[in-house]
Structure 1
Amino acid sequence: MSASQGLLVCWALLVSLSAGTVLAGAAGLWLVVLLLAASKAWLIADGFMELRHAPWGWRLMLLGWAVVLVLLIGVIC
């Protein structure tokens, strides 16, 4: 798969996850919204930012931040 095809696949997945987030939010399924948000953060980091091959420290910091935010929002709500 070429780089441009990979980006198109990432984009299509992000659109699908965004639509799912809106639908889950409208249905009041907040846990699903948080899980979809974490999935989107992971896809952005590995797909668009291409940190898939970056050192583990960078990936851990970026993906860890998304998990921390999801956990904080989940605890607050």
Structure 2
Amino acid sequence: MEKLLLYLRVHQLKEQGFKVAAIAKKLDLSRNTVYKYLDMTFEEASDWVNSLNHRSKKLNPYRDRILGWLNEHPDLA
């Protein structure tokens, strides 16, 4: 959800007349990311954010083992 709010904020700032470099600096993003968000429609951004929640991650099979190590050795976190 945070990325969708960021998408909306980028578009709001652009409508207010901010340049891409100013938006990037204000939101602590790269200019490329600002351009990416400006090129997306709201539907594309929504689909993209939803896809982030459902994709598999490479470390998922090792999740329990890694969490066990971090619980056993909290100084590593």
TM-score by length of 1: 0.33
Report which of the two structures shows the higher radius of gyration computed on alpha carbons. 2
- More helix as a share of residues: 1
